[in-house]
Amino acid sequence: MRTSSEENRMSDVVIRAEALGKRYRISHRRERRADGSPYDSSPKHEDFWALRDVSFEVKQGEALGIIGRNGAGKSTLLKLLSRITEPTEGRARIRGRVASLLEVGTGFHPELTGRENVYLNGSILGMSKAEIRKKFDEIVSFAEIAQFLDTPVKRYSSGMYVRLAFSVAAHVEPEILVVDEVLAVGDVAFQRKCMDYMKRLARNGITIILVSHDLFAVKTMCRRVLALSAGRLKFDGLPAEGIDLYEKDSRLEADPWAAGIIGEDIDQWPIIIRFVELLDADGSPRTVYDYGERMRVRIHYESRKPVRHPNFYLGIRRPDNVVCCSYSAARDGVTVPSLDGSGVIELLTPPLRLVSDLYSTYAGVWDREFKNLYCGQIGPNFHVRDEVLNQHFGVFHVPGEWRWGVNGHKNVGQTLVRPAAGAD
Amino acid sequence: MQEQTIIPTKAESERFDLLIEAGRGAKNYWRDLWRYRELFYFLAWRDILVRYKQTAIGIAWALVRPFLTMLVFTFIFSRVAKLPAPGSVPYALLVFAAMLPWQFFSTALSEASNSLIGNSNLISKVYFPRLIVPAGSVITSFVDFLITLGLMAGMMVWYGFLPDWRLLTLPLFMALAFGSAFGAGLWLCALNVRYRDFRYIVPFIVQFGLYLSPVGFSSNIVPEGMRLIYALNPMVGVIDGFRWALLRGQSPLAGYALIASILVTSVLCLSGIWYFRRTEKTFADII
């Protein structure tokens, strides 16, 4: 039950976006002409609308989630609202101080200590020196980095970095807090802490706009979501419905590679993937996995005509489109003569050895011999998290077996699992 | 999906304190600049703190650098080129009085020109009045300048050559040096965002400017007919002014040079702010 004064406050609109649009102009390199003349004389420009005709209102104290696939315009929208770039058309009206956290530790200087960076980052986010001094202890204790306060942040782990960065931004005491996909890097306990903190802010009348791939987080944090697709607002309403729509939006998309083989029109395919669920080993939905965790994938399919020797596959791609690994049912000895109707097939992966990054999935159906492709679609994204392992370690990291040879020592060539205690 | 038509009444639009719209270069700009005033300080503080991290002699570089340059200049221009010094002024002081503003101008100009690009992660991820970035680098260079000014004082004591009342006019010339570095810096940093060519042009301007300014020589060796054109370089008025103010007026300051310097600096500053404000909205998109 809300009191009437609270009701009043809640009905105050603090953001009103009217037909917001942002156009980017992409220039292409001039291409060599076929007739041998060196260059086409006219430069080629292409207009690209990252966002178009987006209108919505946000009320004070609302926690609004923004979801959508990569390139749907989420980040552009946040950049417009935080005044980093200006819209090409439309307008937005805002009441109150906006603090935005679009990237982890923006403005952090690696050479400076944690203490120095709190002051620097705080002032970049619009706090006065007096405010920072007042909040300093709170910021540090929230970030749990007290003992590293005088260490340069270049020596911080990515987890510590995120904690400090989030902590500074959260203590700006904005009236509107804008948070882009930044929490995925921190550990689970800290993520929960941030979520709780944001919920508390929202209860105190602070408006929160959250962009996340973590649909679970959006569902728990937000009472309302906007779903964007290709720069347009597709949905504005309850999280459960919006997330459903988002999942539908993502499950329907054909993998461009597969579309090149079997045609763009998904409706003509003999079988389609209705959606792909990413779960943990125990079967609860997940979007973030720790390195070494197993992933349970449920592929929901629907066939329109009988498919012979269906061979389901699931592939994992890095953001730069490198295929990191894939699983095939037939390779693993699972195949049936024919398949008709709808159903679900489940895959439990071995422990994930991928390095920390954002990954996208794609799923589809080959025949047993990998000769005919029946379907191929893009599935959901997920993160793998590890404090140390990143792309510098390669695509995968699999522990190796080491042997230590010290010249003149009789034990050369013995496998050392770890230095034996007290062996000296 | 809900369709809503929003017709804001006047009273309603007044409830909002920020309007984001194409072409509307925020009427709150100057107010924001004031609200973010401490960021000037923090960015300058960061630059100073970072500059001398992991150097063995630290902040001493701020003294050593201009001192060594002064030694080289004194040697080249008085021993090798044999240019005469006016009056009873020690040649080293003559050179050093000019080195002060020139060193400030050249570092401020180079740092300001690269400041936006160097802070591109900030520009594309947070909002604040962008003017703070180049202004911050000019301020940082100004701190170096003040340190070097202390060095100058020490040298004057060493040579037993103390300034007279003209010293009181020094702030005017300092302001001129600051203004011309800031104005030119604004132009160059804004241009640099779009055309990275300026990264290569600026060092050239600085190098060339050294020979176009009376740093290693005195202005009276410039041929009579060329002096007016020569004075269009705003640093001519500034450098002659520094010498005049510090060296008891023994080095002449021509009135036309001072006026030209004031005019050129004003034009640079005003047009710099105009151009910067006009282009800064697109910085985040093209940087």
For residues B147-169, average pLDDT = 88
* Domain span holding position A143: 4-29+43-242
Residue A423 lies in a domain: no
Give yes or no: residues A312 and A206 share one domain. Answer: no
By the CB < 8 Å criterion, does A106 face chain B? yes
CATH number for the domain that contains residue A344: 2.70.50.60
Residue A422 lies in a domain: no
Which pLDDT tens digit goes with each residue over A9-43? 445 889 999 999 998 887 655 444 444 444 544 55
Residue A113 lies in a domain: yes
By the CB < 8 Å criterion, does B281 face chain A? yes
Give yes or no: residues A188 and A328 share one domain. Answer: no
Give yes or no: residues A275 and A230 share one domain. Answer: no
Length of chain A: 424
- For residue A229, CA distances in Å to A53, A103, A247, A270, B101 come to 12, 22, 11, 27, 56
Residue A273 has pLDDT above 80, yes or no: yes
* pLDDT at res. A420: 44
Q: What string of DSSP letters covers A338-367?
A: EE-SEEEEEEEPSPP-BPSEEEEEEEEEEE
Strand pairing category for A295-303 and A342-348 = antiparallel
* pLDDT at res. A410: 64
Residue B183 has pLDDT above 60, yes or no: yes
**Percent of chain A, pLDDT > 70?**
86
Please tell me the total count of domains within chain A.
Answer: 2
By the CB < 8 Å criterion, does B10 face chain A? no
Measured between beta carbons, which residues in chain B are less than 8 angstroms from residue A112?
46, 49-50
- For residue A133, CA distances in Å to A52, A148, A393, B128, B179 come to 42, 18, 40, 21, 33
* pLDDT at res. B6: 45
Residue at token pair 């021509």 = B254
Which of A242, A261, A277 is a domain's end point? A242
Residue B282 has pLDDT above 70, yes or no: yes
H-type alpha helices, A252-317:
256-262
CATH number for the domain that contains residue A105: 3.40.50.300
Q: Which residue of chain A has the CA closest to B1?
A: A235
Beta bridge partners of A384: A289, A357
User: Which amino acid does the sequence have at A358?
Assistant: L
Of A376-380, B23-27, B211-215, give the lowest mean pLDDT range.
Answer: B23-27
Residue A208 lies in a domain: yes
Measured between beta carbons, which residues in chain B are less than 8 angstroms from residue A116?
46, 49
Give yes or no: residues A211 and A258 share one domain. Answer: no
Residue A3 has pLDDT above 50, yes or no: no
Give yes or no: residues A304 and A365 share one domain. Answer: yes
* pLDDT at res. A20: 92
Give yes or no: residues A175 and A284 share one domain. Answer: no
Residues with Cβ within 8 Å of A296's Cβ and at least 6 positions away in sequence, in order, are: A278, A279, A280, A281, A283, A346, A347, A348, A349
Residue B129 has pLDDT above 60, yes or no: yes
Q: Which residue of chain B has the CA closest to A237?
A: B1
Give yes or no: residues A238 and A262 share one domain. Answer: no
Residue A76 lies in a domain: yes
Which of A242, A265, A291 is a domain's end point? A242
What is the Rg, in whole angstroms, of the alpha carbon atoms belonging to chain B? 22
Give yes or no: residues A284 and A208 share one domain. Answer: no
For residues B126-148, average pLDDT = 88
* pLDDT at res. B127: 86
* pLDDT at res. A254: 81
Q: What is the ipTM of this complex?
A: 0.78
Of A185-189, B6-10, B228-232, B262-266, give the lowest mean pLDDT range.
Answer: B6-10
Which of A242, A263, A292 is a domain's end point? A242
**Percent of chain A, pLDDT > 90?**
22
Residue B44 half-sphere exposure toward CB, CA atoms < 13 A: 18
Which pLDDT tens digit goes with each residue over A38-61? 454 455 677 888 899 999 999 988
B19: closest CA of chain A, how far (Å): 5
User: Using the beta-carbon criterion (under 8 Å), do A124 and B128 form an inter-chain contact?
Assistant: yes
Residue B266 has pLDDT above 90, yes or no: yes
pLDDT band at A414 (very low <50, low <70, confident <90, very high): low
Residue B188 has pLDDT above 90, yes or no: yes
For residues A290-301, average pLDDT = 91
* pLDDT at res. B51: 80
Distance of CA A184 to the CA centre of its chain: 7
Residue B65 has pLDDT above 70, yes or no: yes
Which pLDDT tens digit goes with each residue over A109-129? 888 899 999 999 888 888 888
For residues A249-275, average pLDDT = 79
Residue A342 has pLDDT above 90, yes or no: no
* pLDDT at res. A363: 92
pLDDT band at B25 (very low <50, low <70, confident <90, very high): low
Find the CB nearest B42 among A57, A106, A119: A119
For residues A192-201, average pLDDT = 84
**Percent of chain B, pLDDT > 70?**
90
B58: closest CA of chain A, how far (Å): 14
pLDDT band at B242 (very low <50, low <70, confident <90, very high): very high
Task: Say if residues A78 and A72 touch (Cβ distance below 8 Å).
Answer: no
Q: Which phi and psi angles does A347 have, rounded to 5°? A: -125, 130
Residue B82 has pLDDT above 70, yes or no: no
Of A325-334, B1-10, B91-100, give the lowest mean pLDDT range.
Answer: B1-10
* pLDDT at res. A29: 53
Residue A313 has pLDDT above 90, yes or no: yes
B159: closest CA of chain A, how far (Å): 41
* pLDDT at res. B110: 94
For residues B58-63, average pLDDT = 78
Residue A412 lies in a domain: no
Residue A403 lies in a domain: no
Give yes or no: residues A224 and A341 share one domain. Answer: no
Residue B186 has pLDDT above 90, yes or no: yes
B5: closest CA of chain A, how far (Å): 9
Residue B3 has pLDDT above 50, yes or no: no
Residue A297 lies in a domain: yes
* pLDDT at res. B56: 80
* Higher pLDDT, residue B25 or A268: A268
Give yes or no: residues A61 and A82 share one domain. Answer: yes
For residues B232-236, average pLDDT = 91
User: Using the beta-carbon criterion (under 8 Å), do A18 and B6 form an inter-chain contact?
Assistant: yes
Give chain A's mean pLDDT. Answer: 82
Residue B91 has pLDDT above 90, yes or no: no
For residues A406-419, average pLDDT = 60
Residue B9 has pLDDT above 70, yes or no: no
Give yes or no: residues A197 and A273 share one domain. Answer: no
Crossing angle of the two packed helices B255-279 and B170-194, in degrees rounded to 10: 30
Give yes or no: residues A150 and A105 share one domain. Answer: yes
Task: Say if residues A271 and A310 touch (Cβ distance below 8 Å).
Answer: yes
* Higher pLDDT, residue B71 or B85: B71
Measured between beta carbons, which residues in chain A are less than 8 angstroms from residue B15?
95
